[in-house]
Amino acid sequence: MLNRFKTYQLNLRGREVTIERPWVMGILNVTPDSFYAESRRMTEQGLQERVEQMVTEGADMIDVGAYSTRPGAAVVEPEEEILRLSLALEVVKRVSPDVYVSVDTFRSRVAQLAVEEFGVDVINDVSGGTLDPEMSRTVARLHVPAVVMHMRGTPATMQQLSQYDNVVGDVLSELAQTIALWRQAGVTQIIADPGFGFSKTLDQNYELLSGLEAFHSLEVPLLVGVSRKSMIYKALGCTPQDALNGTVVINTLALLQGAHILRVHDVRAAVEACTLIETLNRNNKHSKLSL
């Protein structure tokens, strides 16, 4: 499973940036109800401390979200989402203006404000544009990359929509169709996210993980977001607070299948996993050359 990593280029801040090694995207939740309590920050001081920690630990990008998409999460009105994001984005830009920033939103209005007012680099849409038909066209006008994730339904209904003939093949096909629609709308830079935990049962998540390599056929960078999710803590019989070891294991398996971006709560652990897999890949190449 080694050497599946393929380099890609993204246009960020007006220049071509090459993803030539796995990136780590740190999660910054400006929410009171995200499933992992330690990721929540609602005050300026708390946000600043969290950003400083992630940057020090080696985050390549910070993903800011102000609307929890876990099942049963409270509905957040657009005005409240914008208010929360504004506070967080101001902090990120002040503390670390060089780190790349993505915004986790499914609303085109929020995406437009984030890019135009705060210079956000990437839009991360968990719905793949299905919850706001204007999203793809808006991102095209903004000329920024987009993370397009696979999900069926809404956060409230998604777990009732996990019927697949073959989860790897079906998710791959549905994600390919979604990416094609975004391209038709004019979006040229896309990152694919198979959507672990969204519209999938626990066993389906592991089936998807075992077939992750198939998603390279999309010919776009691949983002994996499994950090402390129920597919880990339920399988281990623990809580999100105790799911770091399991997260590292799953992230490592994703890296072995060529994942380009890990979206995580624990930046240092992910950076270390990436470093070790890079070292393994480098020495595996040297070993082959010596045969």
Contacting residues for 26 by C-beta, under 8 A, at least 6 apart:
54, 57, 59, 61, 62, 63, 264, 265, 267
Dist CA 233 CA 223 (whole Å): 21
Catalytic residue among 70, 229, 282, 288: 229
Catalytic residue among 41, 50, 84, 263: 263
Residue 60 zone, left/alpha/beta (φ > 0; ψ -120 to 50; rest): alpha
Active site residue 229: yes
Name the packing angle between helices 135-142 and 108-118 (round to 10°): 20
The question of whether 21 is a catalytic residue gets the answer: no
Tokens 């401390």, located at residue: 49
Q: Tell me the β-bridge partners of 63.
A: 27, 102
DSSP of 121-142, one letter per residue?
Answer: -EEEETTTTSS-TTHHHHHHHH
Beta strands 190-193 and 223-224, pairing class: unpaired
The pair of structure tokens assigned to 56 is 């020090």
Q: How far apart are CA 232 and CA 184, in angstroms?
A: 36
Give the Cα-Cα-Cα angle 5, 20, 227 (nearest 5 degrees): 65
Tokens of 239: 């809580």
Are β-strands 261-264 and 23-29 bridged in parallel, bridged antiparallel, or unpaired? parallel
Beta bridge partners of 18: 9
Neighbours of 279 (CB within 10 A): 10
The residues carrying an active-site annotation are: 229, 263
